[in-house]
Amino acid sequence: MDAMSEVLRVVRLVGAIFIHAKFTAPWCYQSPHADSAAPYLEPGAERVVIFHLVTEGECFVEMKGEPPLRLSAGDVVIFPQGDPHRMTSEPGLPPARGAQLGNVLQRRPRVMAYGGGGARTRIVCGYLACDQRLARMLLAGMPQVVRVNVRDSNAGEWLESSLRYALGEARSPRPGGAGVLAKLAEVLFIEVLRLYMNEQDAERRGWLAGLQDRIVGAALTALHQKHAHPWTLEELARVSGTSRSVLAERFQELVGSSPMQYLTQWRMMLASNLLSHSNAPLARIAEDVGYQTDTAFSRAFRREYGMPPAAWRRLKSAQAANSPEKLAG
């Protein structure tokens, strides 16, 4: 299994579609910084990444300090750093004044219709919520805004038709529609990352760039396939078909850390996932992620998360018990 598939298999991601909009020109919609929208979109999430899919017509994205970016049907834009932005029928329009975001999102997906009656544009707005560390890994090195066209991919037609079906089902009385829509939001986001990887140039940096690199990609795959293995730099270089010095330099250049530092960070992410979603004893978790003693595991976990694993588990359990979903239940 490749490194990306392994990450997506292990780490919990939460996706959703929150707006299905039909705009007619002229129109302008303001999207706040993702951090301010997160409490309404996914309470308790450490990181929320917002994306928009244009299913009909065309429009522009405006961001402070950047030239307007033109979008057409099939384009998806994501904002890796969560920057505020405007979606508009033409640059320079003032944004509409509407209800507070919390009121807009009382029912999701929110169906919106707005504008001056001119050319029509349809947009689906969604998000992906995940752990802050996972977001840093996946999105490292990416620009403020990323645009890809899903209609250029083999999955594009299926994704768009599936989204249209699921949006209709979400408004029907039949159960399960929202769940299908959530899964499609996750699939769409992953497809965007895959398309972005294929469009990368030689100057790009980050985890996704590392996956595409022959040497670093081989090392990442090996580390993710056998995360509990007692890797050494020499052995990893052999697997990657290069020397220790070349691997260390190339890995640091693209991923931003040494291979051994990366392995420790990934093991700690695996451990945090197990601590949050299982009742396994600490000794078992330590062994599962590659530590022979729970003492060594606890020391490494404290360095990464600032507290021992047992205390971290209690904190996450308390936070889950006090989440809005649990309180409502």
Residue 324 has pLDDT above 60, yes or no: no
* pLDDT at position 91: 96
Q: Which two tokens stand for residue 324?
A: 């809005």
How do beta strands 146-149 and 58-62 pair? unpaired
pLDDT at 197: 86
Mean pLDDT for all residues in the chain: 88
Stronger pLDDT, 223 or 7, i.e. the higher one = 223
Q: Which of 96-105, 193-202, 227-236, 240-249 has the lowest mean pLDDT?
A: 96-105
Distance of CA 96 to the CA centre of its chain: 28
For domain 207-319, the question of CATH label 1.10.10.60 is answered with: yes
Q: Where are the domains of the chain?
A: 3-198, 207-319
pLDDT in tens, 274-313: 998 889 999 999 999 999 998 999 999 999 999 999 999 9
Identify the residue with better confidence: 15 or 77.
Answer: 77
Helix-strand-coil split of the chain, %, nearest 5:
50, 20, 30
Q: Which of 145, 156, 188 is nearest to 17 (CA)?
A: 188
Question: Can you name the CATH fold of 3-198?
Answer: Jelly Rolls (2.60.120)
Whole-number pLDDT of residue 228: 96
Q: Which residues contact 244 (CB under 8 A, 6 or more apart)?
A: 233, 234, 237
Cα 180 from Cα 252, distance rounded (Å): 39
Token pair belonging to 132: 């802050």
pLDDT of 174-224, one tens digit each?
A: 677 778 888 888 888 888 888 888 876 767 889 999 999 999 999 999 999
Please state, in angstroms and rounded to a whole number, the distance separating the CA atoms of residues 276 and 317: 7
Say what the pTM is. Answer: 0.86
Helix count and strand count (H, E) for the chain: 15, 10
**pLDDT for residue 293:** 92
Higher pLDDT, 101 or 251: 251
